[in-house]
Amino acid sequence: MAISEEVKGQQALWQALSPAEQKDIRERLLRGDKGKKESPTKPRTPGNFELLGYVRCDLGKSDREPFRAWQQDQNNSTYFDMLVKLCDSGYLLKCGVGKEGHQASLSACDTDGECNGFVLSAFASEASDSLSLLLYKHHILLEGDWTSSLGGTGKSGLR
């Protein structure tokens, strides 16, 4: 019976590990850890969220081409990293289908800032587009700072 190229690759990876690393992996597998962290971090306990309003940040006609260019420069890993960082920073992320198509929103729950209680939303025909549009609004249009929109009017005001 011939050994497949995949198995040969796995064997090469295993052999590249130090004896101590091999021993640690064997012990974890015998204990049933299977990749669990030894000391998991305790999740943040969010405070009570009280909706104060919505950050209005519409994508104008002049913003569409730069958004598409920015979107093309990103990849799934980059999006995931940005979303995880926002969630770790006290934002609540929601994504789903609504009356206006796919919606993605960030709620500032526990950000240690003036934005707590406000929600930034994005709508698109595809879920991935709503998430990327949300990230573009937060990071590019608002530069990660919603406070410039608090109390304002017009394109970046609150509604």
Distance, CA of 150 to CA of 134 (rounded, Å): 18
Q: Please work out, in degrees rounded to the nearest 5, the angle formed at the alpha carbon of residue 143 by the alpha carbons of 101 and 138.
A: 20
User: Burial level of 27, CB count in 10 A (0-12/13-18/19+)?
Assistant: exposed
The token pair that represents 36 in the structure block: 């669990």
User: For 14-23, 44-53, 127-136, which range has the lowest pLDDT when averaged over its residues?
Assistant: 44-53
Binned at pLDDT 50, 70 and 90, residue 149 comes out as low
Same domain, 84 and 143: yes
Domain count, the chain: 2
Binned at pLDDT 50, 70 and 90, residue 53 comes out as confident
Is residue 28 one of the residues assigned to a domain? Answer: yes
Is residue 77 one of the residues assigned to a domain? Answer: yes
Same domain, 86 and 152: yes
Give the 3-state DSSP-derived string for 114-150, with helices as H, strands as E and coil as C.
CCCCEEEEEEECCHHHHHHHHHHHHHHHCCCCHHHHC
Most confident among 97-106, 107-116, 128-137 (mean pLDDT): 128-137
Binned at pLDDT 50, 70 and 90, residue 153 comes out as very low
Same domain, 87 and 115: yes
Total residues belonging to the chain? 159
Q: How does the average pLDDT of the chain come out, rounded?
A: 80
pLDDT of residue 154: 37
Same domain, 108 and 152: yes
Q: How far apart are the first and last CA of the chain?
A: 69
pLDDT of residue 59: 85
Same domain, 27 and 59: no
Same domain, 79 and 13: no
Same domain, 81 and 121: yes
Same domain, 24 and 60: no
pLDDT of residue 158: 29
For the cut 50, the answer to whether the pLDDT of residue 155 exceeds it is no
Same domain, 63 and 133: yes
Distance, CA of 89 to CA of 108 (rounded, Å): 9
Is residue 48 one of the residues assigned to a domain? Answer: no
pLDDT of residue 12: 76
The token pair that represents 18 in the structure block: 């130090």
Is residue 99 one of the residues assigned to a domain? Answer: yes
Same domain, 59 and 88: yes
Is residue 26 one of the residues assigned to a domain? Answer: yes
Binned at pLDDT 50, 70 and 90, residue 43 comes out as low
| Number of alpha carbons in the 13 Å side-chain half-sphere of residue 76 | 2
| Domain hosting residue 141, numbered range | 53-156
Same domain, 59 and 30: no
Q: Is 39 helix (H, G, I), strand (E, B) or coil?
A: coil
pLDDT of residue 29: 76
Q: Label the pairing between strands 53-55 and 91-98.
A: unpaired
Of all residues in the chain, the percent with pLDDT exceeding 90 is: 34
